[in-house]
Structure 1
Amino acid sequence: MSVLIAFLVMLGLFAINVPVAFAICAATFAYFFIANDMSAIMVVQRMIGGADNLPLLAIPFFMMLGSILNYTGITNRLLKLADALSGHMRGGLAQTNVVLGALIGGPSGAGLADAAMICKVLVPEMSKNGYSRPFAAALTSASALLGPILPPGIGLIIYGFVSDTSIGKLFMGGMGPGILCTILLMVAVDYVARKRGYKPTRPKMASLGEMGKASIEAFWGLMLMVLILGGIRYGIFTPTEAGAVTCIYALIVGFAYKETSWADVKAALAESARANGSIMLILMASAGFAWILTWEGVAAETTELLMSISTSPVVFLLIVNVLLILVGMFLDGNAAIIVLTPLLMPTVHALGIDPVHFGIMMIFNLSIGAITPPFGTTMFLTCNLTGVKLDEYMREILPFYIALGVTLMVTTFYPPLSLVLANWVPM
């Protein structure tokens, strides 16, 4: 009964637009006040315990890296490279939007941050070149989805910590679905551009010289991924240490480019501190609520319920796909990972599903939910930043939703897409 009341409190606060962290905190405190056998001090202990872990220190480092990239000129160089690679295709700027989402999605690691950045950098330029703003907003939402599944996605770090899965394996496991998703989104852009006559930004494919120049200018930015994945793969440093190393690396590159001042560094640190404060508060609140569900035996009951429906992994994955997309529409993805992972992992292990494969699928589902009308958080952000109405967005998102759906089905039912590279990483 106490858990049910806590759930109702949380849903009621969501309904009146109370911020996610405060709604979950209120639900957690409500449970402890109602339960007779619980001390209120345990609320604080469980919440602090949810954030007081070394692997989670990677989150503020990688969030800081995303902010630093925008202040050091690295993002602009990656944008030029994306244009050189895709500007000659139909819908050149739209293709650049997708490629840029893939290039910066990994280092920044957060879908909302990527969506905000692309809205500022590319959407105004797309509007000037004849692209409809609803189309640009829908595409930006879809492109931003690449951030959470490509390394070093914040969701991958949180899932790895909660499920006790190798974060290095998750980083590598996200590469296959991320690349497939990028290709299918570009195919969807080509389809829309063909129908609407969206032109390339370049009259012809960039010459080898132009590509070489753009690659050289963006070289040190591209080396970020090599540094992260290579360092983890060969045991040079942990994911947390990789975050710290890449932040220092990006600052050195920014000063070497002579495009960064100490004022920029201060602004980047302030921006990342605000973003990290929000995320860590959500993590702490969610950790307390997740402990409640574990204490009350909800995980065991969930396993019994799912196993009673079917013992087939295929049926389980189909049910979870639908469930996670619905959850992603209403709840912050990071909070959902912390709350739902302990509930689902017993069934995952019982059915013999690889936790790396399941983690990639879980994060991809929640990310799709975040861009899904009518409640997706990433959708609301892009619509607000671009001044697009919800009904206009809904009409434009369909081609990209099909591309994402195909990627999801392949990721779900073809585990090697996630596991081939993941198994290359030592435990």
Structure 2
Amino acid sequence: MLLVATVFTILLVIGMPIAFAVGISGVVFFLQNPDLPRTMTVQLTVTETQNFALLAVPLFILAGNFLNSSGIAHNLLKLASVLTGRLQGGLAQVSIALSTLMSGVTGSSIADAAMNTRLLGFEMLKRGFSKGYAAGVLSYGSLMAPIIPPGIGFILYGTVGQVSIGRLFAAGIIPGFMLWAALAVTISITARKHGYKPELDRAPTPSEVFKASIAGSWAILFPIILIFGLRFGVFTPSEIGAFAVVYAFLVGVFAYRLLTWTSFKQAVEASLVDVGAVMFLLALSAVFGYGIIFERIPEVISTWMLGITDDPTIVMVIIVLFILVAGTFMEGSVLIVMLTPIFMPLIQQYGIDPVHFGLVFIIAATIGNYTPPVGGAMFVVCQILRCPIEDYARESMPFLVAVSLVTLLLIFMPGIVLYMPNLLFNP
């Protein structure tokens, strides 16, 4: 596997798309093992696309694009402004609240960061926010997108690792709001230092709160319906993806009446691009993953870990540190697809709950989207706002510290993560 790892690293360094880097390095493994039939590379690629559970991925992507095209973001923006407009930091607080409310709609941190930057980024600059600070808030705010259900990361991890997607969805609820609270407190402290004022100068009236809540209720109900649909056996994960598409379509056409034929076509086209990228990566990763299993890499790592410690918590800390470093070079979904087959046998050996590990794993993998040198959300936000990376890196440091502390807390207190899954599903 040393040659495979070398080829993979070289391909990444020269800028080859990650799916091709994964696929080519996987083929190299078969070329250096003459006893393995070459036709397996094609068979593994095709077989991976036949996984019925993966049907949920394109369906949730399509549902998210339908909701984005329905005008739901503007209604949630009004609700976020009412809820947080009086807090220190003004639009920065509004952006964090909007990201949290939109999490169940987009399911993707990069998509969420791009959308919120276009909605609020330039308004924040007009109100005196520095580019680095605005970019930091808008990027880290999207961390809740894959955590609050239905995040695509949960579906990928659950499918690859054979973990209950319903329990993973439930596990993301409390940590998602903990991350919101941590970022909101960080904004209050740093905004006071920079002199960023609240957006509203008075408390909202009960009537304003009620109207804003009603307008945003369709989006708020979305993850609730999904979790309870899975809990009571109304839907399987794939079926609930189909329900999500129908729900998003009906909300866009009849509730908000903004999903026109033009926006419908745009949502379908955007979904085709997104689905193609994700499924292509998954298909080619099967070739790469076969080499990992064939060479018994999980067992090698397990033996090495056992030589260091037998404490499951310390093992999780070591794994998270590795994921954080790897996340600075690769996108979160890639890490989930590639590393889940490696770490799943290891955590089972240590008796770590796969739902607890999955939640922490996905947070750590997503954090890589916000850190140099290769952070997807960081690049998107900085490109839109024309913000230098060095300004972003400096002013976003308090937010990195905040989310890292929450991640550590979740590692050492698994009960926080498992409370909702155990409450809603069988322990």
Q: TM-score range by the shorter chain?
A: over 0.9
Please state whether the residue corresponding to 1:424 is helix, strand or coil. helix
Q: CA deviation at 1:314?
A: 2.3
CA distance in 2, matches of 1:141, 1:41: 43
The aligned residue for residue 45 of structure 1 is 43
When the two chains are superposed, the root-mean-square deviation of aligned CA atoms in Å is 1.3
Q: Is the CA contact (8 Å cut-off) linking 1:329 and 1:372 kept in structure 2?
A: yes
What fraction of aligned residue pairs are identical, expressed as a percent?
36
Q: CA deviation at 1:107?
A: 2.3
Q: CA deviation at 1:189?
A: 0.8
CA distance in 2, matches of 1:108, 1:233: 22
CA distance in 1, matches of 2:171, 2:30: 38
The aligned residue for residue 218 of structure 1 is 216
The aligned residue for residue 253 of structure 2 is 255
Q: Is the CA contact (8 Å cut-off) linking 2:114 and 2:377 kept in structure 1?
A: no
Which ranges of structure 1 fall in alignment gaps of 5 or more residues? none
The CA deviation string for residues 135-173 of structure 1, in whole angstroms up to 9 with x for no partner, is 111111111111111111111111111111100000001
Q: CA deviation at 1:51?
A: 2.7
CA distance in 2, matches of 1:128, 1:292: 52
Q: Is the CA contact (8 Å cut-off) linking 2:171 and 2:420 kept in structure 1?
A: yes
* 1:162 lines up with 2:148 in the alignment: no
Q: CA deviation at 1:421?
A: 0.4
Q: CA deviation at 1:50?
A: 2.3
CA distance in 2, matches of 1:118, 1:286: 31
Please state whether the residue corresponding to 1:331 is helix, strand or coil. coil
The aligned residue for residue 185 of structure 1 is 183
Amino acid of the structure 2 residue aligned with 1:407: V
The aligned residue for residue 280 of structure 2 is 281
Please state whether the residue corresponding to 1:145 is helix, strand or coil. helix
* 1:134 lines up with 2:132 in the alignment: yes
CA distance in 2, matches of 1:153, 1:73: 20
Q: Is the CA contact (8 Å cut-off) linking 1:227 and 1:246 kept in structure 2?
A: no
- Equivalent residue pairs, number: 425
CA distance in 1, matches of 2:130, 2:201: 21
CA distance in 2, matches of 1:49, 1:305: 32
Match of 2:110 among 89, 109, 112: 112
Q: Is the CA contact (8 Å cut-off) linking 1:10 and 1:23 kept in structure 2?
A: yes
Amino acid of the structure 2 residue aligned with 1:106: G
Q: CA deviation at 1:332?
A: 2.1
CA distance in 2, matches of 1:284, 1:424: 35
The CA deviation string for residues 288-335 of structure 1, in whole angstroms up to 9 with x for no partner, is 211110011111111111111111112211211110101111122222
Please state whether the residue corresponding to 1:149 is helix, strand or coil. coil
CA distance in 1, matches of 2:91, 2:289: 43
CA distance in 2, matches of 1:116, 1:217: 23
Within a 5 Å distance, the mapping from 1:303-314 to structure 2 comes to 303-314=302-313
CA distance in 1, matches of 2:305, 2:241: 38
Amino acid of the structure 2 residue aligned with 1:388: C
Amino acid of the structure 2 residue aligned with 1:303: S
Within a 5 Å distance, the mapping from 1:2-401 to structure 2 comes to 3-256=1-254, 257-401=256-400
Q: Is the CA contact (8 Å cut-off) linking 1:283 and 1:334 kept in structure 2?
A: no
The aligned residue for residue 420 of structure 1 is 419
CA distance in 1, matches of 2:425, 2:68: 33
Q: CA deviation at 1:408?
A: 0.4
Q: Is the CA contact (8 Å cut-off) linking 1:168 and 1:425 kept in structure 2?
A: no
Please state whether the residue corresponding to 1:202 is helix, strand or coil. coil
Deviation >4 Å, runs of 4+: none
Q: CA deviation at 1:207?
A: 0.9
CA distance in 2, matches of 1:41, 1:81: 55
Q: TM-score, normalised on structure 1?
A: 0.97
Amino acid of the structure 2 residue aligned with 1:401: L
Q: CA deviation at 1:284?
A: 1.4
Q: TM-score, normalised on structure 2?
A: 0.97
Report the more deviating stretch, 412-421 or 251-260: 251-260
Q: CA deviation at 1:385?
A: 2.1
